[in-house]
Amino acid sequence: MAELSYRAWQDGDDLTLREIWGDAESAAAGAFRAALAPESEANPWRRTIVAQDQGIPVAAGVVYSTTLHPQRLWAFVEVAKDHRRAGVGATLLTMLRREAEGALAAGLVSTAALRTKVAPETSGAAFAAAMGLSVLQRNRVVEVAPAALKLPAFGEGTEAEASARVQDLATGSVELTDVVGRYYESVNTWDPTGPLSPGAVQRMFLDDLTGAHGALVLRAEPASAFGASVQPSKKGRIEAFAVSYSQGHLPTEDGAPASAASEVFLGVEPKLAHEDAVRAVYDLLALITHQYPVLLELDDSMEALAAVVNPMIEVGAAKVRGTETLVLGE
Ligand SMILES: CC(C)(COP(=O)(O)OP(=O)(O)OC[C@H]1O[C@@H](n2cnc3c(N)ncnc32)[C@H](O)[C@@H]1OP(=O)(O)O)[C@@H](O)C(=O)NCCC(=O)NCCS
C-alpha cells in the first residue's frame, strides 16, 4: 500500500466514503458516521481527519465534545475494509488525540479523555481495547413481553386508592421534569452530566421534538401530616415514571424488524432505597406491559431496572433486540 496522506474533512467526503465503506458494521458505527463533519470550534468542538490513498478518501476519524457529558470527548474511526490492519486506524486515533490535547491546552475543551461506542466482538471493539480504552457501560434495547409481571394491588383495591398511586402526567410537568433529570444524572455517574437544568431535561426527554407523548407515574402512598385518620390532601411523591415515545426514538440495529412495542423511558426516584426502587420499577412495568409489549433502553448502571429486567431476559419474558452496545473510554 502506498503512503497515505491525511487532511481535514471536506464537503463531499461523506458521499465518497459511504460508497467505499459500504454498509455500517453496527448501529453505533452507523450513528457515528453522521458525526463526520467539518471542524468546529465550539458546541460541539470537533476535528475530523480523512486519510487518502492516491487522492481517494479511504478512512476517516472524528473527535468531538458534547455539552451534556463534558468529562470525555466522543471519538470514532472507520477504515475501508481493504485498508485495515495496516495501522491506519491507530494513526488516525493518534492524530485525533493530538488535536484533543491541543484543544485542551487552548481552552477549547474541558478534557482530552476519549470514549467511543462499539458492538461487542467487532473490529471496533478489538481496536478500541487495543488503543487502551476499557468498557465503561453496556447498553441494550430490551423488549418486555405483555402480561409477564403481576399487576400491583393498591390498598384495599378501590379505584380511589389506585388513582392516588397511578397517574397520567403531562410531559410538561415540573414534578416529572425534576425526577427524570435527577434519575438521568444518577444513572450516568460513570460519565457524569453535571446538574441538568429543567430546560435541558425537557429538550432531551420530554418536549414534542423528542417524540414523548405521555407519561405514567407511580406515586408513594399519600400521607396526611395530621395522621392516618385525616384524609391526605396532597398526592404522594413520584416513585417511578414511564415516558412513552412515538416509534423511532431508540437506536435499533440496521435491518432489524420494526417492533410493534412502544418505546418507553422508565426510571425511579433516585433517593429510593434499592429494594423500594426495584418494587416501584416492577409495579410500573407490570402496569405498562399489562396488555402490550414495550421497548426499553437498559444501561447496566440502571440498577433497579436491571434487577427487574435481567431475570425476565433469562426466562424469555424479555428479549434483547439487536446487539448490545458498549461504551469504552479512558
Ligand atoms: C476499528 C477500525 C477503525 C480499525 O482500523 P485499522 O486501520 O484496521 O486498525 P489498525 O490497523 O490501526 O489496528 C490497531 C490495532 O487494533 C487491533 N485491531 C484492529 N482491528 C482488529 C480486528 N478486526 N480484530 C482484532 N484486533 C484488531 C489490533 O491490536 C491492531 O494492531 P495489530 O494489527 O498490530 O494487531 C476498522 O476495523 C473499522 O473501520 N471498523 C468499523 C468501524 C468501527 O467499528 N469503528 C469503531 C472504532 S472507534
Q: State if residue 290 touches ligand 1 by the CB under 6 angstroms criterion.
A: no
Same domain, 110 and 190: no
Q: Name every residue whose Cβ is closer than 8 Å to that of residue 242 and which is 6 or more positions away in sequence.
A: 215, 216, 217, 264, 265, 266, 284, 285, 288
Give whole-number Cα distances, 61 to 58, 78, 101, 221, 322, in Å: 11, 6, 16, 53, 25
Same domain, 159 and 292: yes
- Closest C-alpha to ligand 1, atom 7: 89
190 CA from centroid of ligand 1 (Å): 25
Q: Name every residue whose Cβ is closer than 8 Å to that of residue 19 and which is 6 or more positions away in sequence.
A: none
What's 246-298 look like in SS3? CCCCCCCCCCCCCCCCEEEEEEECCCCCHHHHHHHHHHHHHHHCCCCCEEEEE
Question: Which of 297, 211, 296, 293 lies closest to 260, judged by CA?
Answer: 293
Question: Which band of pLDDT confidence, cut at 50, 70 and 90, is reported for residue 132?
Answer: very high
Q: Which cell is 228 given?
A: 392516618
At residue 133, the pLDDT reads 98
Mutate to test the pocket of ligand 1, among 123, 253, 324 (most ligand atoms within 8 A of CB): 123
**Pairing outcome for strands 262-268 and 294-299:** parallel
| Tens-digit pLDDT profile for residues 205-223 | 999 999 999 999 999 988 7
Q: State if residue 88 touches ligand 1 by the CB under 6 angstroms criterion.
A: yes
Q: How far is CA 291 from the centre of its chain?
A: 26
CATH number at residue 292: 3.40.630.30
pLDDT at 170 over 90: yes
Look at residue 330 and tell me if it is in a domain.
no
Higher pLDDT pick, 257 / 45:
45
The domain boundary, picked from 132, 160, 182, lies at 132
Q: State if residue 196 touches ligand 1 by the CB under 6 angstroms criterion.
A: no
The domain boundary, picked from 108, 132, 156, lies at 132
pLDDT at 26 over 60: yes
Same domain, 16 and 122: yes
- Collapsing DSSP to helix, strand or coil, 209 comes out as helix
At residue 330, the pLDDT reads 95
Q: State if residue 325 touches ligand 1 by the CB under 6 angstroms criterion.
A: no
Cα–Cα distance between 9 and 76 in angstroms, integer?
Answer: 14
Q: Compute the average pLDDT of residues 236-263.
A: 76
Share of the chain above pLDDT 70, in %: 93
Which residues, listed in sequence order, are joined to residue 46 by a DSSP beta bridge? 40, 64
Look at residue 315 and tell me if it is in a domain.
yes
297 CA from centroid of ligand 1 (Å): 28
Question: Which band of pLDDT confidence, cut at 50, 70 and 90, is reported for residue 314?
Answer: very high
At residue 259, the pLDDT reads 66
Q: State if residue 33 touches ligand 1 by the CB under 6 angstroms criterion.
A: no
pLDDT at 256 over 60: no
Mutate to test the pocket of ligand 1, among 23, 94, 127 (most ligand atoms within 8 A of CB): 127
